[in-house]
Amino acid sequence: MTQDLSDFEEQLGKELRAAAYRRVEARGSRTPARRLSPRLYSILIGALATVAVVAIAAFVLAEIRPRPVAAHPFRIVYLEHEIHLEIVDLVNDPRAAERELREELGIDVTLEAVPAPPELLNQVSGSFSTGSTNIEVEIDAAGRSKTIILPQRIDGDLVIQYGRTAFPGERYIYSITSPMCAEVWAQTPAESAQRIPQLADTIRYDTFDSDYNYHSEVPFTEIDHTYRLIDTMFWSDTELLVVYSAHLDALGTDRPSCGWSVP
């Protein structure tokens, strides 16, 4: 094949030079251009086929070769004016994640462990800038963080917080609707009266009235008996917030079973 390619290159050069000379000499004539000889045509087709096979093989190998696994827990999406850090995994190696994010984003990034309930251990829960940049965090129906939204330019360093095990009695920095809420969702105060007091030492009751106004620290005996339970959230291992409402959609229309699937 190497000799054939050399012959092909030499012959092709002669053919092209001859064709160029004829065009100059016979400009304006209607003499048809000379075709490549059958042998040269055959060599050309063989060479192109070889190149195509090599290119396809390289593409297939590149596609099936395992890609490096990112140390950070994000899928990074670059938009025209924003950068979205979609949370797709847990934080397993925070220092390695910091290094990768610094390289990819071109800014200083710190991953900080903060006290969180068991449902948020090693999960990214929030973010902020040490400067004046506003960082947005999208959450799902249960309050779990889904996406960190960054502007193209950030003032200061980026701090990303993820959950660690809290000490006994330590307040959580971030909390979400407790999964057990699905068990008591839509129950009246009377229906949930036996279950709720067993869950924590300190319980605070809040309500939404019929006009969707929010009321904090309502005595349990003063809660309207027709209200329904729509949320339960632990603030520590000993403190629980319970919310009753005149409307099941007071915290959003996409929160049946408090945003958790019933097992």
Instruction: Tell me the C-alpha distance between 196 and 168, whole Å.
Output: 20
Instruction: Tell me the C-alpha distance between 211 and 209, whole Å.
Output: 5
Which residue, among 183, 175, 172, 179, has the nearest Cα to 229 in the 3D structure? 183
- Residue that is written with structure tokens 């090693």 in the block: 122
- pLDDT value for 253: 84
- pLDDT value for 89: 95
Cβ atoms of residues 110 and 133 within 8 Å = no
- pLDDT value for 200: 95
Q: What is the pLDDT of residues 14-24, one digit of tens each?
A: 444 444 333 33
- pLDDT value for 63: 41
Is the pLDDT reported for residue 1 higher than 90? no
Instruction: Tell me the C-alpha distance between 123 and 92, whole Å.
Output: 9
- pLDDT value for 205: 98
84 — pLDDT class (breaks 50, 70, 90): very high
- Mean pLDDT, rounded, of the chain: 81
Question: What percent of the chain has a predicted confidence (pLDDT) above 90?
Answer: 67
Which of 45-59, 109-123, 215-229 shows the lowest mean pLDDT across its residues? 45-59
Residues 185-208, mean pLDDT to the nearest whole number: 96
pTM exceeding 0.75: no
Is the pLDDT reported for residue 12 higher than 80? no
99 — pLDDT class (breaks 50, 70, 90): very high
Judged by DSSP in three states, 217 sits in: coil
| DSSP per-residue codes, 165-199 | EPPTTPPPSS--B-TTHHHHTT--HHHHTTTGGGS
Is the pLDDT reported for residue 36 higher than 50? no
- pLDDT value for 51: 44
